[in-house]
Structure 1
Amino acid sequence: MAENPNYSAIQAADTQYTHPAGILVSDYYSEPYGYTCYRPEGTKDWLIMYTLSGKGSIYNGNGEYLACTERMLTIVSPGTPQDYFMEVGYTWEKLWAHFLPRLNWMDWLPSSNTQGPVFQLKIEDDNTSLAIESAFRRVLSYRLYRDVLLRDELTLNALEEIILLVASQNLRKKELDPRISEVLDMLAENYMEEHAVEDLAAKVCLSPSRLSHLFKQQVGDSIIETLIKYRLNQAEKLIKYTVRPITEIALAVGFNTPDYFTKKFTGYFGSNPSNYRKQQRDRVN
């Protein structure tokens, strides 16, 4: 097997902590048996692959090889040994990208589900499969159009769509309690409003203590932590894409005081709202 193929992602990823979020390299492959890739140290970026047809195999980082078949989406985290190849008698058709995630994607990027650091998810739903393929192809097309304004933002938005689709499908695979799903929907649709645990519990016919325990167990965050994340993610978009005052944005997404909003935003995105807005403007210019 060829060790460390010359992909620019490997070198670019060495600046992971200063390099802005984005696609480092992406492409469409349709390769016959004989193609291999072997990077024993992995890369410092993330790798996402979506198999369109054929069959390949990838090392899961813990002594096993996983099949990559039609509609299989695979995510490899930084530092994971990368060893993958086409199976005998098959042509492996896939879309892939090496990328550095935006900070808010870290809550959406799934954890391993394969007894190793690699994540895999079979996309069963036809509409989701088409949406993922379409978003991947937009990632590729935006990177070709050098003269398009906000090209990097368009590319990131297309990749973010993939990440969100995968996160959504992953939640369904976990078979959330329908009452928890209902609460999540209420929080997502009405993130700017105040939500008392007692009121939410009454709507799904659970006691407040049982709802709190079950929600934390299945979602990983408490109800209030989840609500704050919904608010912060919406605020981030308003800060990035509008010129509305920071104080106005804070109140619009549900924070009662600008100081509390600034504290939470800074902790979540690593920069206060004003500096974050300036950083995003500087990137575009």
Structure 2
Amino acid sequence: MGDIPYSAIHENRSTLPGNLISAHYKKPFGYRVKRSRGTRDYYLTLTLSGHGRFHNGGESCICSKGDVTVITPGTPHYYATAEPAVWEFYWCHFVPREPWLPLLQLPEEIKGIKQVHVEDGRMLGRIRHAFSSLVEYNAEDDAFSERLAYIALEEVLLLLARCSSFAARQLDPRIESAIRLLTERYREPLTVPGIAAQVNLSPSRFAHLFKEQTGEAVMEMLIKLRLKHAKRLLDLTRLSVAEVAAETGFQNAFYFTRQFTAFCGCPPSLYRKQKL
């Protein structure tokens, strides 16, 4: 991070979770971004040349050509072009789909920030091509572009998992069962102790293992699943906000509105109007 104090760096706006955004950057020394409260999505980069520096508020690490770096949700972070290089990289903000979670079990370079170095030149070329397709599709605006962008992102993650023995490690079967339970029964009044009992773990052990393996707290993932389905209902049905809340497992419409606003950046009623 050089001699610039982390606390003195200008704060950047957080991203809106649920929106897939990506780009290809070439940034000289002096470029920097700081989000002291982290984000509610994942931030993925592939360094093509030069060097970048990542900082979590206490520790830092450097990325070079072939390094893939992932900042996990909620991690306070700062990243910048390392002196005196021009840092060229692809980047993407995304909320992972449930089947992608095992692909994101990457080695943690510093707390909350994961990193994998891709040694094989052929594999790096394939990841670079997939990332390029992701950025290209993400910039288009037609009926197929969003789906194609997600397919390209999944290819990036699959290729990364293929070349990383650590990433190839599967989730603990009990955590897989818990994720499946959350996905299938998100409408129900689920609790951490209740889910822990279903997978034969104590609540404290279950909560710790779930966070360790997925990067998210149990209830945080449950709320995201509910909000994801709520967005779909707002897009595709004429149900009232209160009805959408009840249909997606929220017992209180006011609480639903508060969570939806924090997650999507606007109240559900305004979100629906913007989609019309």
Specify the TM-score bucket, using the shorter chain as the normaliser: 0.5 to 0.7
How many residue pairs get matched? 237
How do 1:26-65 and structure 2 match up within 5 A?
A: 26=24, 38-43=28-33, 48-50=44-46, 57-60=51-54, 65=62
Gaps of 5+ in 2: 1-10, 36-41, 120-124
Using the size of structure 2 for normalisation, the TM-score is 0.56
Q: Which amino acid aligns with 1:140?
A: E
SS state at 1:50 partner: strand
1:230 corresponds to which of 225, 229, 233:
225
Give the Å deviation of 1:254. 1.9
Aligned Cα root-mean-square deviation (Å): 5.4
Give the Å deviation of 1:236. 2.4
Q: Is the radius of gyration larger for structure 1 or structure 2?
A: 1
Q: Say yes or no: does 1:139 pair with 2:154.
A: no
1:244 corresponds to which of 213, 238, 242:
238
How do 1:170-209 and structure 2 match up within 5 A?
A: 176-197=171-192, 199-209=194-204
Q: For the Cα contact (< 8 Å) 1:60–1:114, is it kept in 2?
A: no
Distance 1:224 1:39, change over 3 A: same
Distance 1:164 1:191, change over 3 A: farther
Q: For the Cα contact (< 8 Å) 1:49–1:73, is it kept in 2?
A: yes
2:90 corresponds to which of 93, 96, 101:
96
Q: For the Cα contact (< 8 Å) 2:242–2:253, is it kept in 1?
A: yes
Using the size of structure 1 for normalisation, the TM-score is 0.55
| Structure 1 match to 2:153 | 162
Distance 1:198 1:80, change over 3 A: closer
Distance 1:51 1:213, change over 3 A: closer
Distance 1:142 1:183, change over 3 A: closer
1:120 corresponds to which of 109, 115, 118:
115
Q: For the Cα contact (< 8 Å) 1:58–1:65, is it kept in 2?
A: yes
SS state at 2:254 partner: helix
Distance 1:251 1:230, change over 3 A: same
Q: Deviations over 1:73-132 (max 9, x none)?
A: 23589752213999xxxxxxx9724x6x58x68xx99999434996523589xxxx9799
Give the Å deviation of 1:228. 1.9
- Report percent identity of matched pairs: 26
Q: Deviations over 1:151-189 (max 9, x none)?
A: 9xx459826973897599699579754322321222123
Q: Which amino acid aligns with 1:139?
A: V
Q: Deviations over 1:244-284 (max 9, x none)?
A: 32333223222234333223223333422101222444xxx
| Structure 1 match to 2:82 | 83
Q: For the Cα contact (< 8 Å) 1:136–1:158, is it kept in 2?
A: no
